[in-house]
A and B are shown apart, each in its own frame.
Chain A
Amino acid sequence: MTPLLAARAITVRYGSLAALDGVDLRIDHGQRHALIGPNGAGKTTLLNVIAGATRPGGGRVWLAGREVTRRGPAARARRGIGRIHQRPAVWSTLSVTENVQVAALPQALRPGRWRPGAARSAARRTADTLLDRVGLTDLAGRPAGELAHGQRRQLEIAMALAGRPRLLLLDEPAAGLSATEVGRLVDFLRELPRAVAVLLVEHRLDLVYALCDTVTVLRDGRTLAAGTPDEIRGSELVRRAYAEGVT
């Protein structure tokens, strides 16, 4: 079966530093996959390559069987890649509901919706549903710039889902969240429809093991290990890498 995402021999260099050196990655439809590794391992760089924000020096990327290596982030988003950034990226001067509406518009602008305002109405309906799901309905009219960090994270999740992703890239979604917020986040991610595959970059291994079916460990831009959470948990190699590299 064609994987949802396939990345082969991905190489990214910054001068003499190899941020990624021939990394392979495969994610099937609906799979929950985690990328872990010490700081500087290349996790976010790989996420950038998959999202189209960084063009690799070598290697190729396929999404649902179609090569997207030379496609930019917008084209990949339209083909089903949603992303949540390390720092929640929201449009600060827009209201909470407008943020989700803008994120929903590319999907709402479907052929057949030529009536003026039809796309906006569809985006508004999507925003209402998603804000209710992430618990931000009461703040719908507030400027997004006034939200607290955890609320911004919730908003960004709603924005990512508004694009109806087939693959959701989560870059340290728990960073800066309180224990309660992390619990809510885990529940929310568990409830995501199985049609949405997840690629999670996270330092908190408890979260990784709770959410993911498979794990890839990166170190110094190379794949150190890959397997199920149990296999990774039991790997001496991974334990040593973490003992040396994680801060």
Chain B
Amino acid sequence: MRDELIRPLRGVVAAVVLAGLVVAPWTVDDYTAAILARTLALGLVGVSVALLTGVAGMPTLGQTAPYAAGAYACAVVGGSVSDVGVVQLAVAAAAGAALAALTVPLVVSARGVVVLMITLAIGELVVTVLGRWRSFTGGTDGLAGIAPVRPFWGLPVLAGDRARYVYTLVVVAVVVGALLLVLRTRVGLVLRAGRDDEARLRASGHRVAGQLAGVHIAAGAIAGAAGSLLVVAQQYISPADFSFDTSALLLLGVVIGGTASVGGALVGATLVIASRDWLFGILPGQAPLVLGALFVATVYLLPGGGRRRPRLRGRPQPGRPGPGPALRTGPDPAARTEVRT
């Protein structure tokens, strides 16, 4: 019954948000367009969080790390190599993917809450490095005055906030569309199977560690690309853009949107970030309190974000088929054989 009510509601909210995003450049002022562009960039990081948490079953609090790597790589490239958007996007995605690849050995072998702690630590470590590596990152002052971008060779530079917003929206749409297409292939099928029961997937001959490494790197690339969009939208970055607050807000947005839904995560993250910026204006100093209350209410009322709660990968147990049959609603007649050797 609750699902029947929530599903159309989610559809309506998603449709309204998407329609609003499309018509925004013609209906809002420059300042709001700039805020929306930045929000969309964060929404794309939310998509990478949903890919890891909801689709692959690996919860994460560390996607701000590849997000930061992408942003700083884009800022450096934009300042000295190329002002072409697709080049910066590719470099940022590669930087995010490279950082994710570096952390694969730490993340892929762990499961559950341990992954959360490891990814949180990685995120905090990256922020600390960014704050101390002054010669490259500008330290806690950040990098300012980053040159505006031109989307493609031969096209004009994106001088206004609205133009930058449209660029951001197009990139987000293309990335999310491509991701949704990939998830409809066997890749998505295998990831969902692994989230359900990893041990069974192994017993079927799948290289689970390789698949998890692949999805972790892909999520890093998406977050890195989002970092490039942040640079385009703000033309300024500092370690504060990638703090734990941002990770927590993203997770809140993804939980609200539904971790197993890429589109829902984008909408949820966008709504939460937009709400924060709006609340900062009308309730100075109280925004974190309101968002915290919203988080508690969401987790209590919508534990799956309006969708069925996604499974998270459990630590593999030798000889045990994993949590697959746990969804059973009735007594399991074979359960009595479970403890035999």
A19 contacts B186, CB within 8 Å?
A: no
Q: Type the 1/0 row for A48-64, where 1 means its CB is closer than 8 Å to any CB of B.
A: 10010111000000000
Bound: A106/B200 CA distance, A: 13
A48-B318 CB under 8 A given contacts A73-B203, A74-B205, A78-B205: yes
A41 at the interface (CB under 8 A from B): yes
A40 contacts B196, CB within 8 Å?
A: no
A91 contacts B193, CB within 8 Å?
A: yes
B320 to chain A, nearest CB (A): 8
Q: Type the 1/0 row for A132-146, where 1 means its CB is closer than 8 Å to any CB of B.
A: 000000000000010
Bound: A196/B269 CA distance, A: 52
> Contact partner of A53 among B185, B199, B325, CB < 8 A?
B199
B340 at the interface (CB under 8 A from A): yes
B186 contacts A123, CB within 8 Å?
A: yes
A48-B319 CB under 8 A given contacts A120-B185, A123-B186, A159-B204: yes
A89-B202 CB under 8 A given contacts A42-B341, A94-B192, A176-B332: no
> Contact partner of B192 among A47, A51, A77, A93, CB < 8 A?
A93
Bound: A91/B185 CA distance, A: 17
Bound: A222/B308 CA distance, A: 47
A72 at the interface (CB under 8 A from B): yes
Q: Which of A142-178 contact B (CB under 8 A)?
A: 145, 149, 152, 159, 162-163, 172, 175-176
B293 at the interface (CB under 8 A from A): no
A74-B207 CB under 8 A given contacts A48-B319, A87-B335: yes
Chain B residues, Cβ within 8 Å of A85: 321
Report which residue of A41, A53, A163 has the largest number of chain B beta carbons within 10 angstroms of its beta carbon.
Answer: A53
B340 contacts A40, CB within 8 Å?
A: yes
A98 at the interface (CB under 8 A from B): yes
Name the residue on B nearest A124 (C-beta). Answer: B186
A117 at the interface (CB under 8 A from B): yes
Q: Which of A28-71 contact B (CB under 8 A)?
A: 39-45, 47-48, 51, 53-55
Chain B residues, Cβ within 8 Å of A51: 203, 319
Bound: A51/B316 CA distance, A: 14
> Contact partner of A163 among B189, B205, B208, B335, CB < 8 A?
B205
Bound: A93/B328 CA distance, A: 11
A87-B321 CB under 8 A given contacts A102-B189, A106-B204, A117-B185: yes
B327 at the interface (CB under 8 A from A): yes
Q: Which of B184-224 contact A (CB under 8 A)?
A: 185-186, 189-190, 192-193, 195-197, 199-208
B277 to chain A, nearest CB (A): 36
Bound: A86/B185 CA distance, A: 31
Chain A residues, Cβ within 8 Å of B203: 51, 53, 73-74, 77, 83, 89
> Contact partner of A93 among B190, B196, B337, CB < 8 A?
B196
Bound: A72/B202 CA distance, A: 8
B303 at the interface (CB under 8 A from A): no
A149-B318 CB under 8 A given contacts A89-B325, A91-B196: no
Report which residue of B202, B320, B324, B325 has the largest number of chain A beta carbons within 10 angstroms of its beta carbon.
Answer: B324
> Contact partner of A89 among B192, B205, B322, B340, CB < 8 A?
B322
> Contact partner of A176 among B190, B318, B334, CB < 8 A?
B334
Name the residue on B nearest A145 (C-beta). Answer: B327
Report which residue of B206, B207, B311, B332 has the largest number of chain A beta carbons within 10 angstroms of its beta carbon.
Answer: B206
A23 at the interface (CB under 8 A from B): no
Chain A residues, Cβ within 8 Å of B340: 39-40, 43-44, 86
Bound: A90/B323 CA distance, A: 9
A86 contacts B334, CB within 8 Å?
A: yes
A22 at the interface (CB under 8 A from B): no
Bound: A73/B208 CA distance, A: 11
A129 at the interface (CB under 8 A from B): no
Chain A residues, Cβ within 8 Å of B195: 93
B324 contacts A92, CB within 8 Å?
A: yes
Where the two chains meet, the residues of A that have a C-beta atom closer than 8 Å to any C-beta of B are 19, 39-45, 47-48, 51, 53-55, 72-75, 77-78, 83, 85-94, 98-99, 101-103, 105-107, 116-117, 119-120, 123, 145, 149, 152, 159, 162-163, 172, 175-176
Report 15 cross-chain contacts, Cβ distance below 8 Å, ordered by A residue: A41-B341, A42-B341, A44-B340, A51-B319, A53-B199, A53-B203, A73-B203, A85-B321, A88-B321, A88-B334, A90-B200, A105-B186, A107-B205, A123-B186, A159-B204
